[in-house]
Structure 1
Amino acid sequence: MRWEQKVQFASLSDVGFRRRNNQDSHTAVLSPDAETFQTRGHLFIVADGMGGHAVGELASQIAVETIPHVYFKNRTDDIPAALHAAILDANTAVHEKGSQNLDFNRMGTTAVALVLGPKGAVVGHVGDSRLYRIRREQIDQLTFDHSLEWELIRHGRMKPNDQSLPEIKHVITRSIGPEAEVEPEVEGPIPVWANDTFLLCSDGLTGLVKDAEIGAIAKHLPPVEACRLLVNLANQRGGSDNITVIIAQVGPLPEGAAPQPDEVPAEDSESDPFAWLWMGGLWASVLTFGLGVVYSMLQEVERSRGIVLSTLSLIAFTLILVFWRRHARSRIADTPTPSVSTVLSKAYRTASAKLTVDLLAALAKSESHMKQSAITEQWSLDTTAQNTASAAATNALDKKQWTVALNEFSKSIDLLMIAWQRHRKLVAARDAEAKEKEANEKAAKNGK
């Protein structure tokens, strides 16, 4: 990656619909100049605090403050080593804070950190906050969840598609703070291509939004709009946890610059290097069969030779075709092909990032349900703007302009979510006022 490749990024953190406090923290530190970029690159961090109330919030805040401070002060030229050391220092800081007060005992946080530097991407993480890369039409999870569920899958005691029990799904096997020592997982540098998109998030997003949906939205919307739609979808589907997202899109190579070896997209891994041999064999057998037919049309002696030649060439054609199909099937079985539903490959997940009609239909359904609730519950909604966006989305769908439709659905859903959030606060205030009034009446009655 080059300093001249500008990184467009956005972030958003939301408390969700079920929690009172936002225990997530995040930060992004871009290198101010080319010299700093060459030694440290750009740093992005998401942390998900644990421990309840202000404890988890404090733990995640300490992590996102300590990691950048230590990382940028480190003098080593080894970026992975510097990131590893920074995460260790964050663990020490959180652990020491937890040891000072019984209320903070065993406070902890997850953390995922991404460095985009001159040699590529370096990722360090502890816990189940994730880093994804969206490249071309595919989304890849570049971190392994430090959770009981993933450890059971890794050791063959669970299958990736098995339904997890709640007591297993949310058990973290590694986190920053509870113990005096922790082992961060640091990987890279990983080659970065022009137009790669990286997404860091807490499990408040991934628990409710599928990888394929994350990939398609992050790929086809600008970072700001993508962050808003992803958070809105998580909330619309329950908002059971805090939700934090950072999206960073790598810009194109500088004009006229020759790409470095790790910046050149590899050839399609699905192409078969032996395909020309198979095709050559098939064509040879077809030509031989044709020659046999010609021989069979000649004199008696040549006719028998022609029949033999045609028969042998037909057998050869059949054998080549059978072995070719077998070879193709074995290649498909050995290749983790992205699909709309997530698959597990080498303990990391891969899915399609294609913008599908199914995803747009799901967004249309979500929009319709929210609009009906807005009418029934009388939300304070900017109806004109929402109707305009909704009509534009429907029109784009009819014209098969999928990206335009996604953008318009994003606007419509955002307007509906703003109205919903406003309505929820209003209802909460009314409920609180009613409870206070009831309590005052009880107190007055008891006083008599």
Structure 2
Amino acid sequence: MYTDLQHVSLPPAASRPCESTSMTSVPIVQYASRTDVGMRRAANQDNLAVRVCPEFDEWNRCGHLFVVADGMGGHAVGDLASRITVTTLPLAYYKLDAVDVESRLRQAVIAANKAINDKSRENREFEGMGTTCSVLSLSSAGAMIGHVGDSRVYRVRRGRIEQLTFDHSLQWEMIRLGRATAENVELYHPRNVITRCLGPDLSVQVDVEGPFSVEPNDVFMLCSDGLTNHVTDEEIGVVLSGLPPEKSSRLLIDLANCRGGSDNSTVIVVRIDSYPDLNVRPSDSSPLPPAPPPAASAGIPVALMLLVALISLGLAGWTISRGRPELSAIFAITAVAAFLLSRYFRPEPATAARLPVAPLSPLPDDPLMDPSTSSSLRSSFRTSPPYRTVDCQNAQGLLTYLAEAQSELAQAARDSSWQVDFEELTQLGRQATAANQSEKPDKAIRARARAIELLMKEIYQRRGSSGIN
């Protein structure tokens, strides 16, 4: 199944050049959303929702809303959990009587969690079902994000892509706690194990990030991990910078499927054409908190307990030599207890507030993640948003890959006698080469994206006829 949803906001000024928007008009945004089953899954457990406010009053109070949910717990059950989320959350969000957008977001995500949990209690087959949830609100408060799980929200601005959400995954949590580094986490902790989701428990901890500033030409993207498992942050940034939402969302999913499509992929791309001038203190500008000071007094009780243990052991030996076994047993027990207490009082090593800045190195024999395509690579971790920032101004690496992918897919099409217009493919290839030589990477990417779209369309049709819907 390949769902293609394209949207442009309603105001007629959307086709005009970017201009300042007054505080009494709805901002002008372009957006597109797509979801795809991938190349290995039999069912799509991802779901999404989009709601754009046509009136200023509603936008000022609530804002435009974009939601991505990645279900888990079996084919039908995972799909049910994510569908409940994208249905319940927007309804709750716009109906709630909340004091601000932050409270509205948090309560709406909690309402979705309760709806899933209630449904799971109705039928034993639904037990344990869950879903990730990433939701973006664009309002007069700026950009606010509600987040649970490992789906992601990005912002692209002036040649850099920023990850605005923290992955609630085992790997990221181990790095955050200082129990692994970005260099060795792949060796000790499995990928795609999440530590937080909606549904299984009646209560859920919701991350609310923001407010983030919003500027004309900003691009926001929400996605499930089916995309980021195969497409790097840098590549995502290059695509979002160079293509409009309809084209960029299509190319990103095509890229994920070209590289194996091991999971369902869902993308919502939102481009800001104009936005009111807001007096927003961006949360992404706040400094990192200092590292916590070490506990200076923690060593005192440890030393005392060890001293008691040593004295007790000595007294136990002395009393047994004097023929007093009952006293010896008491002293021995005291020694053991003192030793155990010394371990209890021993301080944990202090964990720095900044997470290690180093590239992740996937296992070389991992079939699901090519080192050249992992979005976990070449990134820095921080303890406050943006959690990772990557430069995305160099398109040459992506263009090289797209040229190779077009060549290999075209050869497969000839070998298998696909119904493809090879003359158009050749022309698109020439256009891309000429544009790249003229230092017009955006135009080159557009041509390559169109060629890959034509080739992947044939693959999707054959995928459907093979029984994978």
**Is the structural similarity TM-score above 0.5?**
yes
Number of the residue aligned with 2:396: 357
* Counterpart residue number, 1:115: 137
Q: Tell me if the contact between 1:31 and 1:42 (Cα under 8 Å) persists in the aligned partners.
A: yes
- Cα contact 1:27–1:44 (8 A) shared by 2: yes
Cα deviation for residue 260 of structure 1 reads 4.3
| 2:266 counterpart of 1:229 | no
Report the alpha carbon displacement of residue 161 of structure 1 after superposing the two structures with TM: 3.5
Partner of 2:448: 409
Q: Which amino acid counterpart does residue 207 of structure 1 have in structure 2?
A: N
Bigger Rg over Cα: 1
Q: CA deviation at 1:73?
A: 0.2
- Secondary structure in 1 aligned to 2:463? helix
Aligned to 2:433: 394
The code of the aligned residue for 1:80 comes to: E
1:343 aligns with one of 355, 360, 380: 380
Q: Which residue of 2 aligns with 1:381?
A: 420
Q: Secondary structure at the match of 1:123?
A: strand
* Shift, 1:167, TM fit: 6.2
Residues 199, 247 of structure 1: 8 Å contact kept: yes
Aligned-pair CA distance for 1:225:
0.2
- Aligned partner (choices 96, 104, 113) of residue 91 of structure 1: 113
Q: Does 1:142 align with 2:181?
A: no
- Shift of the 335–136 alpha-carbon distance from structure 1 to 2, 3 Å rule, reads farther
Deviation at 1:60, TM superposition (A): 0.1
SS of 1:245's partner is: strand
CA contact (8 A) 2:101 2:141 kept: no
Alignment of 1:11-410 (within 5 A): 11-162=33-184, 164=186, 168-253=190-275, 259-262=277-280, 341-346=378-383, 348-410=387-449
Q: Distance in 1 between matches of 2:183 and 2:267?
A: 25
Change (3 A) 1:96 1:423: same
CA distance in 2, matches of 1:164, 1:59: 29
SS at match of 1:173: coil
Deviations 1:312-353 (A, max 9, x none): xxxxxxxxxxxxxxxxxxxxxx999xx993222336111112
Q: Hey, which bits of structure 1, 4+ residues long, moved more than 6 A? A: none
Cα distance, 1:387 vs. partner?
A: 2.2
Which range moves more in the overlay, 131-140 or 352-361?
A: 352-361
Residue 144 of structure 1 aligns with an amino acid whose one-letter code is F
Superposition deviation, residue 46 in structure 1 = 0.1
Counterpart-to-counterpart distance in 2, 1:191 and 1:8: 18
- 8 Å CA contact 1:389–1:409 kept in 2: the answer is yes
Superposition RMSD on alpha carbons, in Å?
Answer: 2.6
Equivalents in 1 of 2:207, 2:111: separation in Å? 14
Q: Could you say which structure has the higher helix fraction?
A: 1
Which region of structure 1 is more displaced relative to structure 2, 409-418 or 180-189?
A: 180-189
Deviation, structure 1 residue 5: 2.5
* TM-score normalized by the length of structure 2: 0.72
Code of the residue aligned with 2:82 in structure 1: it is S
Per mean C-alpha deviation after superposition, the further-off stretch among 227-236 and 178-187 is 178-187
- Identical-residue share of aligned pairs (%): 42
Distance 1:134 1:217 in 2: 10
Aligned residues: 357
Secondary structure at the aligned position of 1:343 is classed as coil
1:418 aligned partner: 457
Q: What amino acid maps onto 1:371 in structure 2?
A: A
Residues 120 and 129 of structure 2 are in contact (CA less than 8 Å); yes or no, is this contact kept in structure 1? yes
The 8 Å contact of residues 389 and 411 in structure 1, kept in 2 or not, is answered as yes
Return closer, same or farther for 1:183/1:17 CA change in 2, 3 Å cut-off: same
CA deviation string 1:135-162 (max 9, x = no partner): 1111010000111110001012222243
Deviation of the 1:169 alpha carbon: 1.0
Gaps of 5+ in 1: 270-333, 432-448
Q: Which moved more, 1:348-357 or 1:92-101?
A: 348-357
Identify if the C-alpha distance between structure 1 residues 165 and 108 changes in structure 2 by more than 3 Å, giving closer, same or farther: farther
Secondary structure at the counterpart of residue 117 of structure 2: helix
* Equivalent residue letter for 2:62: R
1:168–1:340 distance in 2 versus 1, CA, 3 Å: closer
Give SS of 1:175's match.
coil
